[in-house]
Amino acid sequence: EHAITLAAIIEFIHTATLLHDDVVDESELRRGRETANEVFGNAASVLVGDYLYSRSFQMMVKVKNIDVMALLSKTTNLIAEGEVMQLLNCGSADTTEAQYLETIQSKTAILFAAATQLSALITEQPDKVQAQMYQYGLHLGTAFQLVDDVLDYTAEATTMGKNVGDDLAEGKPTLPLIHSISYSSKADQTTLIDAIENGNRDNLEAVLSIIKSTGSLDYTSQAAIEQSRLAKLCLTELPESEAKTALMTIADFSVNRVF
């Protein structure tokens, strides 16, 4: 009965985060088109994002399910925390892999987890199934973000729909950079640290050469594949169905996509 409404709520929250993200990151492209902040300005983007957040909670009330409210309110709070963590990490070459994973799980993967748990919650599945669906979404979202990190250095702008090297330009210490710093020479470490701390694309080719030489793109890709495997493992006890097959396919797609 409420599945479509809840799906719309998730997408409203998702779109709100993208609008706010693009303002914070000063992004110019999103999915191959100019961002809302580029076309309409920061004020309009922030206000529309705020509207979508408030509208999503208004829609939640109509569902009249306190467990849904609890899950989604916790989720939006964690997303905001994740955004703050990412902001604090920007320009910091000391960010560890553990800190980075905590950040992407809070700002990205947590919404995947909420969406997949909701499907079990509204169909009144046992707590164990709800937990499995939550973990599936968390691993799926983590895999998705890790692939994004790789594509930021390897994809064509026309395919990716955003500028290549955006993360580097924003001073974001993503996993390819974090891993590469640990396994590169002192001179290369200086190049990577400078790129993170100064946040620009000036040394993009040099940075790309270093992270390739240290196997950091492969390392990140393998980390994504492992997260996809863990996601599918969460579905093991679910009965065979068209829905289960679709979830397995989505987990595979998350690591095989090129955009």
Which tens digits make up the pLDDT trace of 193-237?
999 999 878 888 999 999 999 999 999 999 999 999 999 999 999
Structure-block tokens of residue 128: 């164990």
Report whether pLDDT(171) > 80. Answer: yes
pTM score = 0.94
Topology of domain 91-256 in CATH is: Farnesyl Diphosphate Synthase (1.10.600)
How much of the chain, in percent, has pLDDT values that exceed 70?
98
How far is residue 149 from each of residues 8, 164, 209, measured CA to CA in Å?
27, 11, 16
**46: burial class by Cβ within 10 Å (0-12, 13-18, 19+)?**
middle
pLDDT confidence tier of residue 158, bands split at 50, 70 and 90: low
Give 73-120 pLDDT, tens digit per residue: 999 999 999 999 999 999 999 999 999 999 999 999 999 999 999 999
End-to-end CA distance of the chain: 33
Where is average pLDDT lowest: 42-56, 142-156, 173-187?
Answer: 142-156
Contact, 131 vs 156, CB < 8 A? Answer: no
- CATH 1.10.600.10 residue ranges of the chain are 91-256
Mean of the pLDDT values across residues 172-197? 96
Q: What is the pLDDT of residue 179?
A: 98
User: What's the CA angle centered on 59, arms 31 and 130, to 5 degrees?
Assistant: 80
Phi/psi for 200 (5° steps) reads: -150, 170
